[in-house]
């Protein structure tokens, strides 16, 4: 099919496909939110009151799970699932692959009388035994050692995943080895939440706040993604195998005109978004926002904040649902951090805060932040944690895809810094100087016309270039990649903040022990000392500039530009010390993750290199040779010489790439990763540079790959 006909076919979407019925949403029975989640409403309706209360005590207050209620919960969960058409159940877990895993078991078993009966026991709910031999373990388990366990996480609601031919009950779980090590991202996250809870409660006790019984962290991740027509996707081996385009010349138009950002959402895309949001609502995922992003064909969806463990689960569901339902509209969702070179990449901004069971947000400065002792204390603890463990935070967002985004082609940079906003930074600077700072009175922004209302003037602007920015009552960790899960970054964030809160609480306790010491004075002293020691990490300027990179170096901030630079942060003595102290990950579990992440980097780059070499040799080179033949037939030597020269250059560079990727140097895994970065990726870039120049010369009907100007703009 000629290229133009393909473009026409891709654009011919009709609205007679799947559709969501329009209903009266003022009627309670039409509110689908949570109908496929075994949340509090379903639990209350189906569980005995005593069982429900005990289960909620575990969920809300972190009390130990009463195993005696397991049978009752399992029976109710089974009946609820059967009523939804579920024939099977699965323990849904998050191994170190970055995605989720599941093994389905039927509820039904034969009775011996030629019939079957649905059964599901408390033992089956609490624990299952998937094969652990083929999941990444980083050396914790040998290949021949297959036993692993999944353990029910009652804090995250079970849910139903529907299929045209049935449904499955999914039970969120942790995943561990036979010897008890965490082989997933859920168990460390839950451990880190407990660590922060314990540290924060001790600190609040010093403030005289004895009503709080639990402190939890909340997250809300803004998910960026691309949608392209599936016809183009399946014509691109690089997208299929690696998630990004390994070849592709810059189109005449990208996002230079800034006309896509927050623009009108194309009809097909909006229809897809609506079905995704409807399905997520049924799963109790609280989606709030949708809009066009910066790049053409790029979009964003964002939920309301949830408790961290639930929010991390729901982020997996969001990505899975987005990829699954996009196909209903002839689209494919791309979650790679940099699917198109030279075009805005995709991140996942992780909005993180701390809340209490009494409804307080510990990072809410109030109207006068200088008078809010708790806010100053906990905000200073975050500043200290981010400065002290900046390299580790950077390591949590390191992978092969991120290296095309962080510290490379676009920001946030690989240098971790904090933006506080003008008002909050003035308060901290005044405290550091031992002076009182009077907060700016709340004022209003006049818009120059009586037709428009006066707008509240915020105390500080936002800084979209900051990797870790304070945004009103939360910190936004902007460096997470679009395809990444949220468990690991939030596990690290919770753990390092717990350590920092503990440190500051101990300092506060010392000062309060002085005879007649006032709480206000003691807090001011602790905050002053902590901020003064760690203010180097605070930066309110433009993070993209080389001047900031130079200044950050003078301040001693780490600049871990690539994944091989960053990953060793997982096994430094400081990392091992803080994670073992809070029993989040032991030394063996940390080293296992380091080994897994290094191996994944090597493997991903190797797959990219092999894919690029194959495409260059079997798709791009033949197209160039056909074009040479056409030019020779035309007898135009100047054109023939131009394309022949580029083709010979392509062959030479292709041979360098194939030789580089065939060589796997001996030594440590991290040295191997550095070789892949420095040698293999460099050879890939050279092949691409030549191929992309050929794309602008070879006849359009001979070029074998959909181009950027088609994939990004045909909607």
Report which listed range, 20-29, 276-285, 401-410, 466-475, is most confident. Answer: 276-285
For residue 86, what pLDDT is reported?
96
Residue 473, Cβ density class (10 Å: 0-12 exposed, 13-18 middle, ≥19 buried): middle
For residue 515, what pLDDT is reported?
72
Arithmetic mean of pLDDT over the chain: 90
For residue 61, what pLDDT is reported?
81
For residue 4, what pLDDT is reported?
61
Give DSSP secondary structure letters for 649-665: HHHHHHHHHHHHHH---
For residue 410, what pLDDT is reported?
60
For residue 460, what pLDDT is reported?
58
Q: Residues with Cβ < 8 Å from 612, sequence gap 6 or more?
A: 238, 246, 247, 657, 684, 687, 688
- For the chain, domains (ranges, CATH) are 32-183 (3.10.20.70), 193-561 (3.30.590.10), 599-711 (1.20.120.1560)
| φ, ψ dihedrals at 167, nearest 5° | -150, 160
Return d(Cα 465, Cα 469) in angstroms, integer.
9
17-36 residue pLDDT tens? 666 777 878 788 788 899 99
For residue 137, what pLDDT is reported?
82
For residue 445, what pLDDT is reported?
45
150-179 residue pLDDT tens? 999 999 999 999 999 999 999 999 999 888
Q: Helix (H, G, I), strand (E, B), or coil: what is residue 499?
A: helix
- Does position 367 have pLDDT exceeding 80, yes or no? no
State the pLDDT confidence band at 468, using cuts at 50, 70 and 90. very high
547-567 residue pLDDT tens? 998 999 999 999 999 999 999
- Does position 329 have pLDDT exceeding 80, yes or no? yes
CA dihedral of 12, 15, 16, 22, whole degrees rounded to 10: 170
Asked whether 478 and 413 are in contact (CB, 8 A), the reply is no
Please give the average per-residue pLDDT across 652-662, as a whole number. 96
Mean pLDDT lowest among 362-371, 481-490, 528-537, 601-610: 362-371
Return d(Cα 369, Cα 437) in angstroms, integer.
10
Please give the average per-residue pLDDT across 270-287, as a whole number. 96
Return d(Cα 388, Cα 556) in angstroms, integer.
11
- Does position 216 have pLDDT exceeding 90, yes or no? yes
Q: Helix (H, G, I), strand (E, B), or coil: what is residue 269?
A: helix
Asked whether 552 and 394 are in contact (CB, 8 A), the reply is no
State the pLDDT confidence band at 481, using cuts at 50, 70 and 90. very high
Please give the average per-residue pLDDT across 189-212, as a whole number. 96
For residue 255, what pLDDT is reported?
80
pLDDT higher at 677 or 635:
677
For residue 144, what pLDDT is reported?
60
- pTM (2 decimals)? 0.94
For residue 82, what pLDDT is reported?
95
Return d(Cα 622, Cα 637) in angstroms, integer.
20
For residue 442, what pLDDT is reported?
56
- What is the per-residue burial (b if ≥16 Cβ within 10 Å, else e) of 226-236? bbbbebbbebb
- Does position 225 have pLDDT exceeding 70, yes or no? yes
* HSE-CB for 606 with a 13 A CA cutoff: 13
For residue 115, what pLDDT is reported?
77
226-274 residue pLDDT tens? 999 999 999 999 999 999 999 999 998 878 777 878 888 999 999 999 9
- Does position 443 have pLDDT exceeding 70, yes or no? no
For residue 201, what pLDDT is reported?
97
Mean pLDDT lowest among 18-27, 337-346, 674-683: 18-27
Return d(Cα 545, Cα 173) in angstroms, integer.
44
Asked whether 439 and 427 are in contact (CB, 8 A), the reply is yes
State the pLDDT confidence band at 447, using cuts at 50, 70 and 90. very low
Return d(Cα 87, Cα 173) in angstroms, integer.
19
State the pLDDT confidence band at 318, using cuts at 50, 70 and 90. very high
Q: Please give the share of the chain, as a percent, with pLDDT higher than 90.
A: 72
Q: Please give the share of the chain, as a percent, with pLDDT higher than 70.
A: 92
Any idea what DSSP says for residue 113? Answer: S
Return d(Cα 477, Cα 469) in angstroms, integer.
7
99-108 residue pLDDT tens? 999 999 999 9
650: left (phi over 0), alpha (psi -120 to 50) or beta: alpha
């Amino acid at each position: 099919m000629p290229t133009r006909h393909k473009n026409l076919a891709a654009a011919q979407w009709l609205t007679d496909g799947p559709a969501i019925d329009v209903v009266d949403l003022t009627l309670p029975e039409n509110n689908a939110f949570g109908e496929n989640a075994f949340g509090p409403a379903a639990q209350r309706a189906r569980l005995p009151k005593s069982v429900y209360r005990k289960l909620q005590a575990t969920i809300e207050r972190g009390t130990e799970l009463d195993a005696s209620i397991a049978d009752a919960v399992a029976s109710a969960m089974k009946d609820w699932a059967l009523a939804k058409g579920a024939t099977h159940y699965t323990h849904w877990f998050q191994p170190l692959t970055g995605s989720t895993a599941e093994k389905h078991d039927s509820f039904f078993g034969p009775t011996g009388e030629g019939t079957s009966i649905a059964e599901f026991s408390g033992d089956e709910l609490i624990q299952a035994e998937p094969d652990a031999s083929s999941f990444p373990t980083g050396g914790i388990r040998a290949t021949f050692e297959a036993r692993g366990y999944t353990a029910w996480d009652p804090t995250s609601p079970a849910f139903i995943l529907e299929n045209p031919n049935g449904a499955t009950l999914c039970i969120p779980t942790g995943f561990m080895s036979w010897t008890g090590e965490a082989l997933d991202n859920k168990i460390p996250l839950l451990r880190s939440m407990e660590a922060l809870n314990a540290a924060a409660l001790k600190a609040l006790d010093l403030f005289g706040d004895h009503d709080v019984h639990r402190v939890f962290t909340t997250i809300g991740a803004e998910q960026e993604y691309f949608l392209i027509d599936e016809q183009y996707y399946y014509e691109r081996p690089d997208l299929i195998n690696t998630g990004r385009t390994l070849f592709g010349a810059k189109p005449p138009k990208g996002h230079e005109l800034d006309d896509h950002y927050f623009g009108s959402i194309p009809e097909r895309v909006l229809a897809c978004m609506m079905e995704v949001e409807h399905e997520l609502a049924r799963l109790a995922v609280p989606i709030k926002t949708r809009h066009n992003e910066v790049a053409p064909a790029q979009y964003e969806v964002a939920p309301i904040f949830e408790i961290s463990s639930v929010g991390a689960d729901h982020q997996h569901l969001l990505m899975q649902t987005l990829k699954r339902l996009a196909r209903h509209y002839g689209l494919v969702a791309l979650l790679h951090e940099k699917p198109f070179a030279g075009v805005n990449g995709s991140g996942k901004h992780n909005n993180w805060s701390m809340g209490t069971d009494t409804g307080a947000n510990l990072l809410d400065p109030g109207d006068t932040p200088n008078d809010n002792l708790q806010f100053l204390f906990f905000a200073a603890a975050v500043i200290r944690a981010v400065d002290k463990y900046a390299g580790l935070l950077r390591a949590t967002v390191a992978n092969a895809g991120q290296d095309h985004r962080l510290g490379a082609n676009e920001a946030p940079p690989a240098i971790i810094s904090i933006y506080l906003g003008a008002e909050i930074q003035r308060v901290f600077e005044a405290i550091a100087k031992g002076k009182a700072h009077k907060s700016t009175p709340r004022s209003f922004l006049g818009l120059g016309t009586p037709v428009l209302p006066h707008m509240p003037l915020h105390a500080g602007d936002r800084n979209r270039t900051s990797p870790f920015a304070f945004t009103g009552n939360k910190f936004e960790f902007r460096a997470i990649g679009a395809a990444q899960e949220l468990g690991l970054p939030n596990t690290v964030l919770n753990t390092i903040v717990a350590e920092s809160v503990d440190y500051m609480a101990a300092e506060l306790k010392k000062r309060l022990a002085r005879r007649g010491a006032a709480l206000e004075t003691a807090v001011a002293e602790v905050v002053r000392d902590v901020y003064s020691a760690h203010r180097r990490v605070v930066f309110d300027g433009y993070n993209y500039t080389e001047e900031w990179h130079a200044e950050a170096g003078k301040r001693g901030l780490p600049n871990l530009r690539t994944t091989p630079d960053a990953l060793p942060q997982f096994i430094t003595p400081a990392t091992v010390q803080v994670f073992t102290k809070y029993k989040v990950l032991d030394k063996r579990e940390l080293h296992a993750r380091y080994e897994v992440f290094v191996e994944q980097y090597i493997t991903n780059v190797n797959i990219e290199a092999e894919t690029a070499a194959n495409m260059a040799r079997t798709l791009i080179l033949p197209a160039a040779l056909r074009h040479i033949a056409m030019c020779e037939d035309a007898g135009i030597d100047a054109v023939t010489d131009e394309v022949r020269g580029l083709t010979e250059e392509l062959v030479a560079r292709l041979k360098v790439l194939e030789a580089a990727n065939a060589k796997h140097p001996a030594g440590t895994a991290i040295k191997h990763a550095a070789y892949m970065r420095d040698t293999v990726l460099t050879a890939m870039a050279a092949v691409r540079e030549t191929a992309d120049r050929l794309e602008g010369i070879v006849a359009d009907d001979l070029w074998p790959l959909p181009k950027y100007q088609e994939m990004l703009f045909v909607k």
